Structure 1
Amino acid sequence: MTTDVTTDVTTDVTTELTPESELIIDRLRQLRTLDAPTHGGHVLSYVYDSGLAELDELAATAIRIMQPVNGLDPTTFPSVAAMERDVIGFTKRMLGAGPDAAGSDEVVGSVTSGGTESCLLAVKTARDVWRAAGGEGIPRLVAPVTVHAAFHKAAHYFGLELDLVSVGLDGRVDTAELIDRLAPDVALVVVSAPAYPHATLDPVGAVAAAASALGIACHVDACIGGWVLPWWSDDLPAWNFEVPGVTSMSADLHKFGYAPKGVSVLLHRGRDRQRAQFFATKRWPGYPVVNPTMLGSKSAGALAAAWAIVHRLGEPGFAALSASCKRATDALTDAIRAIDGLAVLGAPVGPLFAVAADESVPSERRIDPHVWADRVRQLGWLLQQQPGLTQANGVRLPPTTHLTITPVTESVLEPLVAALVQAADEVRGVASIDPMQVLGAIGGVAELLAGSGGGEIALSSDQAFGVLSQLGIGGGAGGETSASSGGVLPDQLAPLLTLIEALPAPLTERLLIELLARLVE
């Protein structure tokens, strides 16, 4: 006996909302007014604006069509498998993983919910393959210190030792030192194309070759660069699957693929390796569970939007948007290099870069990048402040301000550059904030640090919130807060970034957990 399944795709039906539903939508629109602007190029992090309104409408329509679909089971919803097949196929060609001369097509992959899930699955797969090959004990994950924080999370979740290699002041890792860390207990070495903090392109070719010679997996994290570097420059060294020894890659469609959050692609070289990514069980009384990714039930909306955008743009469209990003990036880096007191850190690759104080000029001409970013924010542009970091070898990476450039940036270059220059002129010579002065003015925090001995600091939720309140963040007493941050952050973020850098990492992390938890509460 068979049952006919009626197709119920409703793509053109418009249902008017009831007055009650209209009130709900009005409330949602009011909530959105609290957010930073997602279009127009005024936020130079987090959002990736193509500048093409058509893509937004295309994505929204695709999401609406796929709204009821559960991506858990492509046998029930074969549209999910079809879209995933198309997106993965395009990604493979883009990342140099097409069939070889013999017709072999050994690179396979999955669509995930974002870069973090792609990174987590790359690490989980490497750990399991390492164990299956006879690895015992706690495996290591080796990477430059600039590797994305998602790999910190992966090591924490999956029980690997995170072995980070220090980098130079320009963000570059010493290739020999990185290769020196490789040994049989290494389950995975990770390099970035490029690394997010400073846009450094890691030495993919040399590391992958050394890893391959030792039988060690090599992952290239191209979450931010994967959908823009293929069209960036002919002068880039090989960084993708064209490099022998690269065993997996991640690339996010919700960045320079211009799709809505969250959708990413994780590719593996070899079917057997990729199958280790899966989870399957029949050991319960329900339906057999087979998951290629960490999620079970999941929306197919972001996948559908990404699929539609890939088909709409194709290689020519992505190439044109990449060229726009490059023109804007070149113009902005040139403009900032011309600002007395600021310096572009290192030799950035791709549409992102970091700005530091120019230590070569006298202090009265120097510009603190965080104070500068605060002033730029007051002028209507949001840059991302990154605290400094003292590495294991004692070398301190300076505090920086990060900018991510998107195609829409080219259309607002003139007012943006004007704001960057004006802010620099207004804060030039302003001394960097002394964290000890800030701490000394906050009762109880200094005592808390003195009692910690530099180790772990155990705080209850109430204690952590009390500290946040004294710091003037979290919506508690102690200072003016910013309306753009929902009233949880001070108007001036430079002092906060100074404290984040100065406080012990366990304390800072505990306070940030409390901040985000209280924000939702």
Structure 2
Amino acid sequence: MQPETPLRPDSAPAPGGVPDPGGLPEVGRPPAELLAELARHRAGDLPVRGGRVTAYVYDTGRAEVHDLAARAYQELLEVNCLDPTAFPSIVALERQVVAAVAGRLGGGADTPGIFTAGGTESIMLAVKAARDARPVDGRARIVLPASAHPAFHKAAHYLGMEAVAVPVDPETFRADPAATRAALTPRTVLVVASAPSYPHGVIDPVEEIAALAAEAGVPCHVDACVGGWVLPWLREGGRDVPPFDLSVPGVTSLSCDLHKYGYAPKGASVVLFADEAARRRAYFASAGWPGYTVINATVQSSRSAGPLAAAWATLNALGARGYRDLAAEAMGAAERLAAGVADIPGLRVLGAPDAPLVAVASSDPGLDVFTVADEARTRGWFFQPQLSFQGIPANLHFTLTGVSRDRVEPLLAALAESAAAARRSGPPDVPEGLADALAGLDLDGLDDAGFAGLLGTVGVDLDGGAPEMAVVNAVLDVLPPETRERLLIRFLAVLYSPHR
């Protein structure tokens, strides 16, 4: 007897012998087969452990902590945060998590906060609270440094507001208080500072910015999404960290991601408020329908309590000593990386990072950082490219974590080898006139299949695994931000297109 061949999702018949249009099997597939298929799909993913990916993932190097978090996540996977009266466990866990974060970020046990799915959601709620606290004539405005996270622009877009970005200091990359003050108008409802900014790892002058915001009667939000759970531990470890949290007069809200240097699984973030009224303005309630009572603390309604449980477990498993050690290890790794970059011809570090985030640019016209990134990818490393902006050169971003303590020397070796190879090959060969053609392209008149063909002409094979991106990044780098955005949206649409 031949063994039964499991039905493939794309060929499963529905009743009557007609293939299912969505590829859903008529008869459920065996668990082992499905898990094996998941493993095949993941074969092309970047590794989430080991320190070879210098963005997106945060690794303690302590497998037992991550395993515990996964178990805690599963324990509350099916608990729905939509109704805390139905599942009181989420109230108990969230209160503990918020209190722990507030206690290290200038607040206390009575500081109000919200557990969210990530930094973007935390920022969205802080922006909503500020908008609702200060009604103005016309479109409300957010004033923020050019280095602030795009989540603020996203929040402004979603909430019908205007984001006004002011230039940062061209040498330190920190926000300019004078430029911030000059940008304030009667329509300004929120001023933003970063601690630190993601691109270069530097802390904005929070005290000055919060003071000028308070003088104008405007709330001030500190985006500490990336640094909020590493800076306090660096300070406790004896490092000089400038004031940045709720203890600073004028700071009215602060966001801190626990799935970054809190090392919890995604998505886990906390937004703190200086007073209870501000938190209430972040909430949403609707009684204008005949269904169940709708009261939401976050942008989402139904959401799993798994991330909350995992964050709670991670915080308690590592404890204060664990976080102090991890912060010291990550910052030590960042400093060793910066020192090592100085010995690689043609590369330099931008600014003086206050957190374990390092941006590396080229000081040699013949050495292209986008080509360096492609060369590193062939050597099993991922270095995150960052495009040039307002005079800040294109660079490679490195997020160092606890696991990086033992990975700096291999990282530097890979960076040096990649730089040498990139110098030999030279900058990417961008077809003449391509950037101008893209800038003038009628994207609205081009369907996804046509845009996919256009990508193919510059060497982007969406079905061929990790693409070589140096040419693409080089083209994007010379285009204005608005054109970059239009092209990136089209790229994402093609990537997920059902017609590929």
Task: Confirm or deny a common fold (TM above 0.5).
Answer: yes
Letter in 1 for 2:191: V
Out of 68, 77, 101, the position equivalent to 1:91 is 101
Query: 2:311 aligned with 1:309, yes or no?
Result: no
What is the alpha-carbon distance in structure 1 between the residues aligned to residue 414 and residue 282 of structure 2? 47
The two structures, once aligned, show a CA RMSD in angstroms of: 2.1
Give the structure 2 partner of residue 41 of structure 1: 51
Give the structure 1 partner of residue 455 of structure 2: 468
What is the alpha-carbon distance in structure 1 between the residues aligned to residue 185 and residue 491 of structure 2? 40
Letter in 2 for 1:316: R
Alpha carbons 2:357, 2:398 under 8 Å: kept: yes
Alpha carbons 2:119, 2:256 under 8 Å: kept: yes
In the TM superposition, what is the alpha-carbon distance from 1:449 to its structure 2 partner?
3.7
What is the alpha-carbon distance in structure 2 between the residues aligned to residue 120 and residue 163 of structure 1? 16
In the TM superposition, what is the alpha-carbon distance from 1:447 to its structure 2 partner?
4.6
Letter in 2 for 1:59: A
Letter in 1 for 2:124: L
What is the alpha-carbon distance in structure 2 between the residues aligned to residue 275 and residue 374 of structure 1? 47
Q: Secondary structure at 1:247's aligned position in 2?
A: strand
In the TM superposition, what is the alpha-carbon distance from 1:504 to its structure 2 partner?
4.0
What is the alpha-carbon distance in structure 2 between the residues aligned to residue 371 and residue 256 of structure 1? 29
In the TM superposition, what is the alpha-carbon distance from 1:70 to its structure 2 partner?
0.6
Q: Secondary structure at 2:164's aligned position in 1?
A: strand
After superposition, the C-alpha distances for 1:262-301 in whole angstroms (9 at most, x for unaligned) are 1100111110111001111111111110001011110000
In the TM superposition, what is the alpha-carbon distance from 1:248 to its structure 2 partner?
0.4
Q: Secondary structure at 1:276's aligned position in 2?
A: helix
* CA gap 1:450/1:64 in 2 versus in 1, 3 angstroms: closer
In the TM superposition, what is the alpha-carbon distance from 1:496 to its structure 2 partner?
1.1
Query: 2:73 aligned with 1:108, yes or no?
Result: no
Alpha carbons 2:124, 2:155 under 8 Å: kept: yes
Out of 321, 330, 336, the position equivalent to 1:325 is 330
In the TM superposition, what is the alpha-carbon distance from 1:316 to its structure 2 partner?
1.2
Query: 2:75 aligned with 1:65, yes or no?
Result: yes
What is the alpha-carbon distance in structure 1 between the residues aligned to residue 222 and residue 445 of structure 2? 36
What is the alpha-carbon distance in structure 1 between the residues aligned to residue 273 and residue 424 of structure 2? 50
Alpha carbons 2:61, 2:403 under 8 Å: kept: yes
Give the structure 2 partner of residue 216 of structure 1: 218
Q: Secondary structure at 2:360's aligned position in 1?
A: strand
What is the alpha-carbon distance in structure 1 between the residues aligned to residue 240 and residue 272 of structure 2? 24
Give the structure 2 partner of residue 4 of structure 1: none
Alpha carbons 2:230, 2:355 under 8 Å: kept: yes
In the TM superposition, what is the alpha-carbon distance from 1:459 to its structure 2 partner?
4.2
What is the alpha-carbon distance in structure 1 between the residues aligned to residue 404 and residue 201 of structure 2? 18
Out of 25, 31, 36, the position equivalent to 1:26 is 36
In the TM superposition, what is the alpha-carbon distance from 1:433 to its structure 2 partner?
4.2
What is the alpha-carbon distance in structure 1 between the residues aligned to residue 441 and residue 295 of structure 2? 50
What is the alpha-carbon distance in structure 2 between the residues aligned to residue 191 and residue 449 of structure 1? 32
Give the structure 1 partner of residue 22 of structure 2: none
What is the alpha-carbon distance in structure 1 between the residues aligned to residue 155 and residue 205 of structure 2? 22
What is the alpha-carbon distance in structure 2 between the residues aligned to residue 32 and residue 72 of structure 1? 31
Query: 2:471 aligned with 1:515, yes or no?
Result: no
After superposition, the C-alpha distances for 1:204-233 in whole angstroms (9 at most, x for unaligned) are 000001101111010000000011010124
After superposition, the C-alpha distances for 1:385-407 in whole angstroms (9 at most, x for unaligned) are 01112x3xxxx211011000011
Alpha carbons 2:448, 2:493 under 8 Å: kept: no
What is the alpha-carbon distance in structure 2 between the residues aligned to residue 475 and residue 236 of structure 1? 44
What is the alpha-carbon distance in structure 2 between the residues aligned to residue 84 and residue 251 of structure 1? 14
In the TM superposition, what is the alpha-carbon distance from 1:326 to its structure 2 partner?
1.2
What is the alpha-carbon distance in structure 2 between the residues aligned to residue 464 and residue 58 of structure 1? 44
What is the alpha-carbon distance in structure 2 between the residues aligned to residue 368 and residue 451 of structure 1? 26
Alpha carbons 2:448, 2:494 under 8 Å: kept: no
Q: Secondary structure at 1:62's aligned position in 2?
A: helix
* CA gap 1:289/1:345 in 2 versus in 1, 3 angstroms: same
How does 1:260-299 map onto structure 2 within 5 Å? 260-299=265-304
Out of 390, 397, 408, the position equivalent to 2:392 is 397
* CA gap 1:63/1:352 in 2 versus in 1, 3 angstroms: same
What is the alpha-carbon distance in structure 1 between the residues aligned to residue 108 and residue 58 of structure 2? 27
In the TM superposition, what is the alpha-carbon distance from 1:450 to its structure 2 partner?
4.5
Give the structure 1 partner of residue 385 of structure 2: 385
Give the structure 2 partner of residue 128 of structure 1: 132
Letter in 1 for 2:488: L
Q: TM-score w.r.t. structure 2 length?
A: 0.89
What is the alpha-carbon distance in structure 1 between the residues aligned to residue 287 and residue 147 of structure 2? 40
Give the structure 1 partner of residue 253 of structure 2: 248
Q: TM-score w.r.t. structure 1 length?
A: 0.85
How does 1:118-157 map onto structure 2 within 5 Å? 118-131=122-135, 135-157=136-158
Out of 193, 196, 203, the position equivalent to 1:194 is 196
Query: 2:474 aligned with 1:498, yes or no?
Result: yes
In the TM superposition, what is the alpha-carbon distance from 1:28 to its structure 2 partner?
0.9
Give the structure 2 partner of residue 406 of structure 1: 401
What is the alpha-carbon distance in structure 1 between the residues aligned to residue 76 and residue 176 of structure 2? 47
Give the structure 2 partner of residue 176 of structure 1: 178
What is the alpha-carbon distance in structure 1 between the residues aligned to residue 314 and residue 133 of structure 2? 34
* CA gap 1:19/1:277 in 2 versus in 1, 3 angstroms: closer
* CA gap 1:86/1:430 in 2 versus in 1, 3 angstroms: same
What is the alpha-carbon distance in structure 1 between the residues aligned to residue 441 and residue 85 of structure 2? 59
Q: Secondary structure at 1:236's aligned position in 2?
A: coil
In the TM superposition, what is the alpha-carbon distance from 1:203 to its structure 2 partner?
0.8
In the TM superposition, what is the alpha-carbon distance from 1:238 to its structure 2 partner?
0.4
| Gaps in structure 1 of 5+ consecutive residues | 1-17, 100-104
In the TM superposition, what is the alpha-carbon distance from 1:322 to its structure 2 partner?
0.5
After superposition, the C-alpha distances for 1:57-89 in whole angstroms (9 at most, x for unaligned) are 101110121122111111110000000000000
* CA gap 1:40/1:450 in 2 versus in 1, 3 angstroms: closer
What is the alpha-carbon distance in structure 1 between the residues aligned to residue 452 and residue 309 of structure 2? 41
In the TM superposition, what is the alpha-carbon distance from 1:38 to its structure 2 partner?
0.5
| Gaps in structure 2 of 5+ consecutive residues | 1-27
In the TM superposition, what is the alpha-carbon distance from 1:515 to its structure 2 partner?
2.2
